[in-house]
Amino acid sequence: MCVIDVPLLIEGGLWRWMDCVVVVYSSAEIQIYHLMDPDKCTHAESEARLGSQLPITSKIAYADIVIDNSGSYSGLEDQVRLYLKELERMVGRTWVVSWLFPPFGLLSVAWTLLVRIVLRTEQTSEMGPRNGR
C-alpha cells in the first residue's frame, strides 16, 4: 500500500490513477482555520487558496472514503485508524507475493490501473463535466 497526499488530486486529474481516493472533509470555516494556524496565512490568503480549488463538497463525489475532520483531533485519529485497518484488510498479503515475485506485482499494478481507469471513466461520464476531467 502506498499513500499519496496530493492537495490538487481531483483538479489535476490524478484521481483516475489512484486505487482508492480518500477525501478528508471539513467545512470552509474549519479549512480556513487550519490554513491560518500552521501556515500563518491571513484570512484573505486562506480564502483565496480555497477559492482556487474545487469545493470540498464537489470532491466528495470522487471519493471512495470520506473522513470527517470537523470534530476533535482524537475523533479524526480514530477514523483514520479505522480506515487504515480496512485498507490493510483489502490489500491483505498480496504485498508479500509482489515483493517475493516482482512480475506478479507489475501485473497487479497493470490490472489495478486498467480496472480503475475503466471504472473512473464510467464514473466521470455519469457525473458530467467537472474540473477533474
What is the rounded average pLDDT of the residues 13-38? 85
Residue 119 and residue 76: Cα distance in Å, rounded? Answer: 29
Residue 127 has pLDDT above 80, yes or no: no
Residue 67 has pLDDT above 90, yes or no: yes
User: Whole-angstrom distance between the N-terminal and C-terminal Cα of the chain?
Assistant: 25
What was the pLDDT predicted at 96? 75
Residue 132 has pLDDT above 70, yes or no: no
Residue 69 has pLDDT above 50, yes or no: yes
Comparing 119 with 133, which gets the higher pLDDT?
119
Residue 130 has pLDDT above 60, yes or no: no
- What is the crossing angle of helices 43-51 and 28-39, to 10°? 120
What was the pLDDT predicted at 64? 87
| Range among 6-10, 15-19, 39-43, 122-126 rated most confident | 6-10
Residue 111 has pLDDT above 90, yes or no: no
- In degrees and rounded to multiples of 5, residue 105 shows phi and psi of -60, -45
Q: pLDDT-based confidence at 38, cuts 50/70/90?
A: low
Mean per-residue pLDDT over the chain, rounded = 82
Per-residue pLDDT reduced to its tens digit, 91-105: 777 777 777 878 887
What is the rounded average pLDDT of the residues 40-64? 89
Residue 121 and residue 92: Cα distance in Å, rounded? Answer: 27
Question: 57: closest CA among 46, 66, 44?
Answer: 66
